[in-house]
A = this chain, B = another copy of it.
Amino acid sequence: MSKYCFGIDVGGTSVKCALFSAEGTIEEKWEIPTRTEQEGVKILPDIAEAILKKMEEKEITREEAVGIGIGLPGPIEENGEIACAVNLHWGRKNVEKELEELTGMPVKAGNDANVAALGEMWKGGGKGAKNLILATLGTGVGGGIIINEKIVTGAHGAGGEIGHAMINPAEEKACNCGNKGCLEQYASATGIASLARKALGKTEKESLLRSKSHVTAKDVFDAYKEKDALAQEIVDEFAEYLGRALAVFACVADPDVIVLGGGVSKAGQVLVDCVEKYYQKYAFSACKATPIKLATLGNDAGICGAAKLILSR
């Protein structure tokens, strides 16, 4: 008898679905829309329907299905409840219980950033590691901590919320979370763009970035690769913040590997090189040699991690 499982990654506009073999091969991948109307009451039934239809289509029996792993944009507690998910228009909801009732299969839920970390550990940039820190540098900075192959959920579902580590007591501008000086304010795509705006306003220095009406993180890294001096200063400032923060996180978790993902990681190896310089400067001696790697799964990190979540339950 072949064994299968489902990996589901729920986003604010679409739900990524995948059928996996129990060995971890993606057999099929598809998407359905996330229907957030009426407080998102249709989201889980839609997912259940998509899964049951796929099983019928593929002639997979309940006995052949290990279960469903699901990543969600919100803090998941030990009992499988989500405290809230703003993007899904959800309040408190017991996702595992509801989806189990809808499908008759075991369900394991996790926070999407944490689940992505599990995916990168299983099949991505951190393959082979047992202990890993993933920093997802997107619009914000998310993260996931894996210790002994398990997600660190934390007492309030805030394990791995590294974007809100306070790293600059001198900051005057508030972060979206209400605090000031969070890592996210410097190391996200938005943060890098804001560092760029500040740098451009501070000097008259020539720069490729001056031709842009609205400088993005990608523009900064593109100009950096062209050896633009101002872009190099901006990247250096970003890298100092991120490298220093990662060094502090390593004093807590001492991972086998640190993985950088999210949109900013599309900058490629230069990102690793500049962050590693500061990481090594600030890291505790025993952790200085910890490798920093790029995430490799891209948008598949979520479905892969979700599948791993149920497979290693």
Contact = CB atoms under 8 A, between A and B. Distances in A.
Interface of A: 75, 130-131, 133, 145, 147-148, 150, 152-167, 169, 177-179, 240, 244-245, 247-256, 282, 284-287, 290
A154 B178 CA distance: 32
A158 B287 contact: yes
Given A153-B254, A159-B254, A160-B252, 13 more contacts: A131-B155, A147-B152, A154-B253, A154-B287, A155-B255, A156-B254, A158-B251, A158-B254, A160-B251, A161-B254, A164-B251, A164-B284, A166-B244
A179 B131 CA distance: 24
Nearest to A168: B169
A161 B254 CA distance: 8
Contacts of A169: 240, 244, 282
A157 B286 contact: yes
Contact of A167 (B130, B240, B248, B290): B248
Nearest to A132: B155
> How many copies of this chain sit in the oligomeric assembly?
2
Contacts of A160: 251-252, 254
Given A178-B285, A252-B252, A284-B164, A155 B244 contact: no
A275 to B, nearest CB: 15
Nearest to A180: B282
B251 A162 contact: yes
A119 to B, nearest CB: 19
A157 to B, nearest CB: 7
Contact of A254 (B130, B154, B284): B154
26 contacts: A131-B154, A145-B252, A145-B253, A148-B150, A154-B254, A154-B255, A154-B287, A155-B256, A156-B254, A156-B287, A156-B290, A158-B254, A158-B284, A159-B252, A159-B254, A160-B254, A161-B251, A161-B287, A162-B251, A162-B252, A166-B247, A177-B285, A178-B285, A179-B282, A245-B248, A252-B252
Contact of A286 (B148, B158, B287): B158
Nearest to A148: B150
A282 B156 contact: no
Contacts of A247: 165-166
A98 B75 CA distance: 45
